Structure formats: structure tokens, C-alpha cells
Amino acid sequence: MARSLTWHCCPWCLTEDEKAAVRVDQEINRILLEQKKQDRGELKLLLLGPGESGKSTFIKQMRIIHGAGYSEEERKGFRPLVYQNIFVSMRAMIEAMERLQIPFSRPESKHHASLVMSQDPYKVTTFEKHYAVAMQWLWRDAGIRACYERRREFHLLDSAVYYLSHLERITEEGYVPTAQDVLRSRMPTTGINEYCFSVQKTNLRIVDVGGQKSERKKWIHCFENVIALIYLASLSEYDQCLEENNQEPKQDAEAAKRFILDMYTRIYTGFVDGPEGSKKGARSRRLFSHYTCATDTQNIRKVFKDVRDSVLARYLDEINLL
């Protein structure tokens, strides 16, 4: 409306309210123009996937590879989270032992288990010596190890064996988490998180959203101006239990096999369009496949290079520069 006023009315014919409306309209247009210029120089990538598929770890890797990484002070800030992850993991195995009817191999383990279970894992900020002794004792118990081997039957953090295998170092006084400790730390993502960085004079903004069921309804709000989706899924967890439901598998193993075989048939034998159709489609698509590990920095460096090249090539093609 304000724009129509400026086109059809003389400035001295406008009322004070109309003049104010014109000024607001001009300011909005200025902001939109600035935003358009900014968006033109920035590519937005959206990270999607179920909980614990490695989305936040991928973001941490981008910070290490293309950003400033984590300073010592920043790594110290992860110390309580590392401690909490250890307590959560051990509690999960102790609780699962009862359900799976796995006994402790040594009588003393029951006392140590009771001590661990008495502590609220999410309130842990330090690792007191008696807890460190209890954790080390339990991790050496054959019953706990047997329970760990059946981890697909209950929810357990991926980082459990890593942290428990480094208990002596982690429970030392003055412990400072390493970059690998930070990468393996787990805190469920809630809401929408963004990380911006520059790669070869190209500004990239990666948007990370929570993968739990309660968070997925927020995904729709993130799709605007997205040039590419990066969907992550954990190959090692397809038959494990969901974090939000310890009785529900992430995927039935046999169903997963049938799905993979069906996709293989469609992609490689031309099930949909015939062999020639598959060949024609394959030539026009830039696809890269890697066996990856989210905590392997060198591996992720290579994977992201291919993602970056693919995204930039598609973007340049869309604006007729390729």
C-alpha cells in the first residue's frame, strides 16, 4: 500500500501517517535487498537424519576442519558432558542386565553398581574417586561385557566403549577433553542450530536440527532457500533401539535387507526405466559414495570435499555458469 502511495501521490499530498508508512516500506525494501545480497553469497545446507546419526558430530568436524577448532578452554567446557555420557552409558548397561537376566561375574560388582545407580547422571559435573573406582571395576566385570555385546537389544550411546576404555585418563585430576573426546560427546540436539564457515571463498551455512521424533516437526521451518540436503543415517544402528523408545528397533534387520536389495535393483538394473534409462540417468547425476565414520576427521574431510564439489557444481549449473 505504501508503494502505491508513493507512485500515485505527491509527497506534499501525503498525511503524516502515510509518510510514516512510506518510510516503513522503504526500510523493509532496504532490509530485503540486503538479505538478498547476503543470500546470494551464502549457500545453505540442511542436515537431516534420525537421532544419533552423526549430524552434530558432522558440525563439530566442520568446525575442526574449516574453522578455528576448539580451544583448551572450550574443550574444558565439554568435561561435564563427557562425565555424564559415561554415567548414562554405565547406567544403561546395569539396567539392561536385569532385563536381559545377565548376572554380574563378581559379587562386589553389585555394590559398585548400586553406587553408580544412586547418582543422577545429568547432575554430574566432577568425577569423584569412588565413582571412578566403581566404573573401572564394573567395566572389567564379565557380566557388563556380556551385556555390552548385546547392546542392540537396548539403547546405548555409541561413545560408551570409547569413554569406558579411557576411564583412567578421563578420571585423572585436571583432565582436559581432547578433540576426539569432544567429537564423541553426545547431547541431543533441540531446536535449530546453525554453523557458518567459508570454503574457497564460498560462504556455507549448515543448519542442524534435532533428529528425535519430537524434533522432526520443526524440520519444515528450515527448508527455505536450501540448496542441498545432507541426510545422515547410521549404518551401525539400523537394528538398535530408539533412544525415545527402548523397545522399538530403529529398523528390522530383514526389512533393511529387503529395502537395500530393492534399491539396488532399481538403481543398477533399470527396474523402473530399463537398462538404458538407468545409464542415461546415471550420466547426468553427480553421485559420490563413501564408507564413513563421523568421528574420523580425515575421512569426513574427504566426504565433505565431495559434498562441497557436488553442491557448488549444481549451484553454478543452475545460474548458467557451468
Q: Can 26 be counted among the known catalytic residues?
A: no
How many beta carbons lie within 10 A of that of residue 312, not counting itself? 18
Domain of residue 136, residue span: 79-176
- For strands 192-199 and 202-209, give the pairing: antiparallel
Asked if residue 196 belongs to a domain, the reply is: yes
Q: Residue written as cell 564379565?
A: 142
Q: Residue written as cell 542442524?
A: 208
Same structural domain for residues 248 and 311? yes
Asked if residue 5 belongs to a domain, the reply is: no
Same structural domain for residues 262 and 198? yes
Asked if residue 7 belongs to a domain, the reply is: no
The Cβ-side half-sphere exposure at 10, using a 13 Å CA radius, reads 2
Q: Is 107 annotated as a binding residue?
A: no
Q: Is 177 annotated as a binding residue?
A: no
Judged by DSSP in three states, 40 sits in helix
Q: Can 295 be counted among the known catalytic residues?
A: no
φ, ψ of residue 204 to 5 degrees: the values are -115, 140
Same structural domain for residues 136 and 239? no
Same structural domain for residues 198 and 152? no
Same structural domain for residues 202 and 314? yes
Q: Can 30 be counted among the known catalytic residues?
A: no
Same structural domain for residues 109 and 209? no
Same structural domain for residues 119 and 258? no
Q: Is 209 annotated as a binding residue?
A: yes
CATH code for the domain in which residue 48 is found: 3.40.50.300
CB 210 within 8 A of CB 188: yes
Same structural domain for residues 150 and 236? no
Asked if residue 74 belongs to a domain, the reply is: no
Render each residue's pLDDT in the chain as its tens digit; 322 residues. Answer: 444 444 445 556 677 777 788 887 787 777 666 655 555 567 888 888 777 778 888 888 888 888 888 999 999 999 999 999 999 999 999 999 999 999 999 999 999 999 999 999 999 999 999 999 999 999 999 999 999 999 988 889 989 999 999 999 999 999 999 999 999 999 877 677 788 888 777 788 888 876 555 555 666 667 777 877 788 877 776 666 555 555 555 554 445 445 555 655 555 554 556 566 656 655 666 566 677 787 888 888 888 787 777 777 766 666 655 5
Catalytic residue among 141, 181, 208, 243: 208
Dist. CA 106–CA 8, nearest whole Å: 90
Q: How many domains does the chain have?
A: 2
Judged by DSSP in three states, 251 sits in coil
Same structural domain for residues 172 and 214? no
Indicate the burial class of 210 (C-beta count within 10 angstroms; 0-12, 13-18, 19 or more). buried
The pLDDT tens digits for 78-97 are 999 999 999 999 999 999 99
Asked if residue 167 belongs to a domain, the reply is: yes
Q: Can 297 be counted among the known catalytic residues?
A: no
Q: Can 265 be counted among the known catalytic residues?
A: no
- For strands 202-209 and 42-48, give the pairing: parallel
Asked if residue 203 belongs to a domain, the reply is: yes
Choose the final residue of a domain: 150, 176, 202: 176
Dist. CA 85–CA 89, nearest whole Å: 6
Asked if residue 1 belongs to a domain, the reply is: no
129-139 vs 108-117: helix crossing angle, rounded to 10: 130
